Amino acid sequence: MSSLGLAQDKFEGGAFHPQLPGGRASGTLLVSVAGIRFESPHGAIVFPLSNLQLEMGGAGDRMCFFKHPQFPGCSLFTTDKAILKHPALAHDRAVSAQRSQWGRRRFFAVAAAVLLVLAIPMALWLAKDPAAGLVARNIPVDWEVKLGETVFEQVTNRARVVTAPELNAEFSRLVQPLFAATGTTRYQFQVHIVEDLSLNAFALPGGIMVVHSGLILKADRAEEVLGVMGHELAHVTQQHSLRAIVQRVGLIVMLQFLIGSDGGLAGVIANSADFLLGQKFSRDHEREADNIGFDYLVKAGIDPQGLITFFEKIQKEQDAKLGGAAEVEASLSFLSTHPGTDERIAHLRKRIAKETKGRTFQPVAQDFKSFQDRLRQQLGTK
Ligand SMILES: [Zn+2]
């Protein structure tokens, strides 16, 4: 028996054979140019190399099985894959063809496993916002309203709300065309002016919108304030706060809710006031609010240019305050830093050029300057 000068030509293994006690025996596989010889205390058998068949099997294809047409019902096996590197086998055409087939199979199995591991989280991740949107649309409106009221209560604990009825009524009248432009009957929109000199406004779930007195007083035209209100209104109608809350509960709770059992979502929503107070909308939700807010403005016949001039105002203010470099981190804020104000202005400009070409917008009729004066007076007298 030739050893081909190789260090290893003996491999631990076994054989299945109907004549062996129990049908199998352990032993040694000896590889040579003559074939594979199996030796055990029960006897020996030689599988010639020609017509030798190789199969991989067992858990994770860890075992090599050899079969031969001359010995039907009999197979030799080893877990020592080094056997395949033995020159007598490595150069055998049939064996190497089967090895490469096995290699391809293994490659596809690994590729499929990797794909599965990557694809499932990716699919879930991609599905998360649409899934949250679907859940949010099915949430009873009073859950939303209740949450909005809870947050508003916390806001009013920290800031003073303008209570002068005629000012509130006038401001509501100013925003009314935007409310109508949403075309939704789900919400009873209400808007509150809070005494705060910063340029800010925000929307709460359920239809409550808050605008800082500073934003109204610094505006040059009503259209600027209305531009911001259109954006905030879109956050309400697109349920961005609710969607952000729902995304945090995970797909299991979402699924439970959608198939009819609450799954604890009511409790999560009821307890999300603190989360909302510290929350910032995602980049996608801000873009969506810009776009849908723009639609509302155009539909209501309000010049959307106001939103742009107001963005520019905000930008100037930020540059002056922060040297233009720092980021404004404000929660519940219109002044989101993402997407950047430049990008938002550029996008709105494009839409104006494309969609309102040749259209002239009538100025908002209400005497905005006089409203500002009276608001200023109201704040000054306190
Ligand atoms: Zn926003």
CATH of the domain at 65: 2.30.29.30
Of the candidates 89, 105, 121, which is a domain's last residue?
105
Give 200 or 207, the one with higher predicted confidence.
207
333 CA distance to ligand 1 middle (Å)? 7
State how far the Cα of 75 lies from the Cα of 84, in Å rounded to an integer. 16
Query: Residue 36 above 90 pLDDT?
Result: yes
Model confidence at 280, in pLDDT bands (50, 70, 90)?
confident
Q: What is the pLDDT of residue 47?
A: 93
Q: What is the pLDDT of residue 329?
A: 44
233 CA distance to ligand 1 middle (Å)? 9
Tell whether 250 and 148 lie within a shared domain: yes
- Residue 163: inside a domain: yes
Q: What confidence tens digit (pLDDT) does each residue in 313-352 have?
A: 877 877 776 554 444 445 556 665 556 788 888 999 999 9
Tell whether 143 and 226 lie within a shared domain: yes
62 class by beta-carbon count within 10 Å (0-12 exposed, 13-18 middle, 19+ buried)? exposed
Helix and strand element counts for the chain (H, E): 14, 10
Tell whether 358 and 223 lie within a shared domain: yes
317 CA distance to ligand 1 middle (Å)? 18
289 CA distance to ligand 1 middle (Å)? 6
Tell whether 320 and 200 lie within a shared domain: yes
The domain total for the chain is 2
- What positions carry a catalytic annotation? 232
Query: Residue 152 above 60 pLDDT?
Result: yes
- DSSP string spanning 62-124? -EEEEE-TTSTT-EEEES-GGGGGSHHHHT-HHHHHHHHHHHHHHHHHHHHHHHHHHHHHHHH
- Residue 258: inside a domain: yes
Q: What is the pLDDT of residue 98?
A: 75
Tell whether 162 and 259 lie within a shared domain: yes
What percent of the chain is predicted at pLDDT more than 90? 47
CB atoms under 10 Å from CB of 87, counted, come to 13
Tell whether 152 and 60 lie within a shared domain: no
Tell whether 296 and 181 lie within a shared domain: yes
Beta-strand relationship, 208-212 and 190-194: parallel
277 CA distance to ligand 1 middle (Å)? 14
Q: Of 72-81, 89-98, 121-130, which has the strongest mean pLDDT?
A: 72-81
Of the candidates 105, 126, 152, which is a domain's last residue?
105
278 CA distance to ligand 1 middle (Å)? 14
246 CA distance to ligand 1 middle (Å)? 18
Contacts of 187 (CB under 8 A, 6+ apart): 141, 145, 206, 207, 236, 237
Q: What is the pLDDT of residue 166?
A: 94
- Residue 1: inside a domain: no
Tell whether 283 and 154 lie within a shared domain: yes
Say if residue 339 is preceded by a cis peptide, omega within 30 of 0: yes
67 CA distance to ligand 1 middle (Å)? 71
Q: What is the pLDDT of residue 328?
A: 45
96 CA distance to ligand 1 middle (Å)? 64
- Residue 356: inside a domain: yes
Tell whether 43 and 164 lie within a shared domain: no
Residue type, 69: P
Tell whether 229 and 143 lie within a shared domain: yes
- Residue 257: inside a domain: yes
Bridge partners of residue 32, in order along the sequence: 35
Residue 29's SS3 state is strand
Bridge partners of residue 191, in order along the sequence: 209
Model confidence at 219, in pLDDT bands (50, 70, 90)?
very high
Tell whether 178 and 89 lie within a shared domain: no
- Residue 323: inside a domain: yes
Are the CB atoms for 7 and 18 separated by under 8 Å? no
- Residue 352: inside a domain: yes
213 CA distance to ligand 1 middle (Å)? 18
- Cα diameter, the chain: 112
Tell whether 79 and 144 lie within a shared domain: no
- Residue 238: inside a domain: yes
Domain that holds residue 47: 10-105
Mean pLDDT value across the chain? 86
Question: Is the model's pTM score more than 0.75?
Answer: no
Are the CB atoms for 55 and 69 separated by under 8 Å? no
